[in-house]
Amino acid sequence: MTEPRLTVALTFDHDAISDGVRRGDSPVKLSHAEFGPRVGVPRILDVLAREGIESTWFVPGHSLVTFPDNTAAILAGGHELAAHGWYHEDFSELSRDEARDVLARSRDALATAAGAAPSGFRAPYWALAPGTLALVEEAGFGYDSSLMAGDVRPYRVRHGDRHSVVDGTTWGAEGTLIEVPVYWALDDWPHFEPGPGRSGLATPSAVLEIWTEELRWAWEHEPGGLVTLTMHPECIGRAHRMVVLERFIAAARSLDGVEFARLDRALEARGLLSR
């Protein structure tokens, strides 16, 4: 098989109502999140099936067990299940024991659902404590997708970096965990959903332009690269945003040698992950 010029990984964070349950959100906020499992997930899976695309789903344990029809449909579509906390916890606020417990419980539930241990983890809110990724590696995960020190080249995570305003920075050692970098501009949420300090509700064409220019740059200048998008069913699943997803897929299809792949398979093909 010839090497693809560029790989595109479509990734979906299936948060649903997991964090709303943990925070005790109001019925309206919970319903905003419930749009994901009710409408967004089936819509997205239909498009992916039509296009013959396999993708990666970061699924909190609560979403996994609360929406079993979604879980079954994701698995039936040949997609990858990866970990994303249980109640979409903020790992920067958890003790080490709490973090260990959430990682183990979510890993085991995903393994039971999928019939194989998950390879991937993405921190909810992309929020980590300094030692969290060492615990992720210890829990047996092969890759993380929460950091930003790169774009299209996965890299090895360092553990134990020490930063001091007196003594400067001492870098830790690389472990086995691979990082698949993320970035806000390549995430649907900051563009489209209101939040602290931003109105959200971006014009879809503006987001499509950012995503396709990232794609084109990588295709021209970063052969062998891996472009990763982060999306949320309750966000991208809205009709005018599904158009962005469809057009982005069409833009990728219009370039020679672009393949779509699940993150685990993209990393296996690069010799960065073994099972």
Binding residues for Zn ion, per CB under 5 A? 13, 15, 124
Residue with Cβ nearer Zn ion (15 or 80): 15
Q: How near is the Cβ of 58 to Zn ion at its closest, in Å?
A: 7
| CA-wise closest residue to 146 among 162, 125, 175 | 125
Residue with Cβ nearer Zn ion (56 or 212): 56
- DSSP state, residue 180: -
Alpha carbons 101 and 85: distance in angstroms, whole number: 10
Alpha-carbon distances of 60 from 9, 95, 164, 220, rounded to whole Å: 19, 19, 35, 36
**The residue type at 170:** T
Q: How near is the Cβ of 122 to Zn ion at its closest, in Å?
A: 7
Alpha carbons 56 and 116: distance in angstroms, whole number: 15
Residue with Cβ nearer Zn ion (15 or 34): 15
Q: How near is the Cβ of 98 to Zn ion at its closest, in Å?
A: 18
Q: Collapsing DSSP states into helix, strand and coil, what is residue 243?
A: helix
Residue with Cβ nearer Zn ion (15 or 179): 15
Q: How near is the Cβ of 127 to Zn ion at its closest, in Å?
A: 10
Residue with Cβ nearer Zn ion (30 or 49): 30
* Residue 111 in tokens: 């393994």
Q: Residue 61 burial (CB < 10 Å; 0-12/13-18/19+)?
A: buried
Residue with Cβ nearer Zn ion (193 or 222): 193
Q: How near is the Cβ of 156 to Zn ion at its closest, in Å?
A: 24
Residue with Cβ nearer Zn ion (65 or 250): 65
Q: How near is the Cβ of 14 to Zn ion at its closest, in Å?
A: 8
* Residue 20 in tokens: 């709303």
For the chain, how many residues are written? Answer: 275
Q: How near is the Cβ of 187 to Zn ion at its closest, in Å?
A: 10
The residue assigned the tokens 């099972």 is 275
**The residue type at 191:** H
Alpha carbons 26 and 17: distance in angstroms, whole number: 11
Residue with Cβ nearer Zn ion (49 or 127): 127
Residue closest to Zn ion, measured at CB: 13
Neighbours of 122 (CB within 10 A): 24
Q: How near is the Cβ of 15 to Zn ion at its closest, in Å?
A: 4
Alpha carbons 59 and 85: distance in angstroms, whole number: 8
